[in-house]
């Protein structure tokens, strides 16, 4: 999207506001589908962005849906995804939530021995499942988003495969799929091949296997010096490994991936207004009308977002520290070079589509922003801005 379109949206809907470019999502999805074989399915990781309009849009593109909570499953069904196209991959939930997903008829992925045993003892082979394996591979752009290392809470250790086999034997459990997800922001495509090799090696322990789910973690560039995961090269390498395995064993598996950030991250823009310019003895602060209650990634993951001044794009470059209006240290960028910022200017945070609004809150009793979908050259309001009454809607006054 160009600056004029973004400024028009800021003027029409106010700030802060999240804007999502539908064409960007489509481009990213088509990169994936053109890079892998037709036997590969892509399950959009709903946790990245669950606005019902985004879910409907990716469904219409042809994607399936990956969910990590029962409410994401329900949102997916409401958005029109067939139950066969929904995968439920929770962690640290009780059997009751698993059973609620079973009642919906979706694919179930179990990631710990305790629930596996409970499920097997109660349901046996009556409901096929996937099992999430922890491959003990350290990968990802930050320790907090690395999910496959030895101390991760996610998945069943590869060293517990014999335990899984015992549960299968004693309960007649029907395991139709294996799942691995090593982390997010993975720069090296060979990490996926390493995980694939492990899954293919483990496949001999699961006679009913149909699906191999490699998770995701495809990287998008947040800075000009970064590169996106080369999915075309990865697709060729994966196809070669799968083909050679099939020729030598006669086994064929459907391959699944779960892209979230890769699909929606680049599509998103957070538009904000510069409230104040505050100069101290050493620093010039730009204080904006947003905070980590709207975009927590820079504070949570030390993540980088390109910030631009849409209102004064040709202004002289100056050094600023961009901060929010929350009563905590919510610094978006230290000593960032921006075109001169004046009070009232509109700034944009780029690549804010994934885990932006989705991780927002009402901290400091601040209101959540609006969301806009830019589709076919037109801006559509897809979530209204919070109003004061929204802060009280679930509270019960007893005094």
Q: What residues are designated binding site for substrate? A: 297, 301, 328, 355
For helices 231-249 and 22-33, what crossing angle results, to 10°?
Answer: 30
CA distances from 366 to 218, 306, 341, 343 (A): 33, 24, 24, 21
**DSSP state string for 244-310:** HHHHHH----EEEE--SHHHHTTTEEEEEEEEEEEE-SS-EEEEES--TTT--HHHHH-----EEES
Verify whether residue 92 is a known catalytic residue. Answer: no
* CA torsion angle 350 356 360 365 (round to 10): 0
The number of beta carbons lying within 10 Å of the beta carbon of residue 120 is 23
Strand pairing category for 40-45 and 254-257:
parallel
Binding residues for pyridoxal 5'-phosphate: 217, 355
Give the C-alpha separation, 74 to 51, whole Å.
13
Distance of alpha carbon 253 from the chain centroid? 25
For residue 127, give the DSSP letter: S
Distance of alpha carbon 256 from the chain centroid? 16
Binding residues: 217, 297, 301, 328, 355
Catalytic residues: 327
């Amino acid at each position: 999207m160009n600056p004029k379109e973004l400024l028009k949206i800021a003027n029409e809907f106010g700030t802060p506001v999240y804007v999502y470019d539908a064409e960007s999502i489509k481009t990213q999805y088509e990169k994936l589908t053109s890079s892998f074989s037709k036997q590969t399915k892509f399950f959009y990781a709903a946790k990245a962005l669950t606005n019902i309009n985004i879910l409907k849009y990716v469904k219409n593109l042809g994607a399936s849906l990956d969910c990590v909570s029962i409410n994401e499953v329900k949102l997916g069904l409401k958005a029109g995804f067939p139950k066969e196209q929904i995968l439920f991959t929770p962690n640290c939930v009780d059997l009751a939530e698993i059973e609620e997903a079973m009642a919906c008829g979706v694919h179930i992925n179990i990631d710990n021995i305790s629930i596996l045993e409970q499920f097997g003892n109660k349901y046996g082979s009556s409901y096929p499942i996937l099992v999430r394996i922890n491959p003990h591979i350290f990968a990802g752009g930050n320790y907090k988003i690395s999910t496959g290392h030895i101390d991760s809470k996610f998945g069943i250790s590869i060293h517990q495969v014999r335990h899984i086999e015992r549960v299968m034997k004693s309960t007649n459990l029907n395991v139709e799929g294996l799942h691995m997800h090593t982390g997010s922001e993975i720069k090296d495509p060979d990490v996926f091949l390493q995980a694939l090799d492990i899954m293919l090696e483990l496949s001999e322990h699961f006679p009913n296997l149909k699906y191999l789910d490699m998770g995701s973690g495809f990287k998008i560039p947040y800075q000009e010096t970064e590169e996106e995961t080369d999915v075309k090269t990865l697709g060729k390498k994966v196809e070669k490994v799968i083909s050679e395995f099939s020729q030598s064993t006669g086994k064929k598996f459907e391959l699944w991936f779960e892209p979230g950030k890769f699909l929606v991250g680049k599509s998103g823009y957070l538009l904000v207004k510069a409230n104040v310019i505050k100069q101290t003895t050493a620093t010039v602060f730009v204080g904006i009308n947003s905070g980590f209650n709207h975009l927590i990634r820079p504070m949570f993951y030390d993540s980088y977002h390109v910030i631009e001044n849409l209102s004064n794009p040709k202004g002289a470059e100056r050094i600023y520290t961009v901060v929010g209006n929350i009563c905590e240290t919510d610094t978006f960028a230290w000593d960032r070079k921006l075109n001169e910022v004046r009070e009232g200017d509109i700034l944009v945070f780029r690549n804010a589509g994934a885990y932006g609004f989705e991780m927002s809150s009402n901290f400091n009793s601040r209101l959540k922003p609006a969301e806009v979908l830019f589709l076919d050259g037109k801006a559509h309001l897809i979530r209204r801005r919070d109003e004061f009454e929204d802060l009280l809607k679930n509270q019960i006054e007893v005094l």
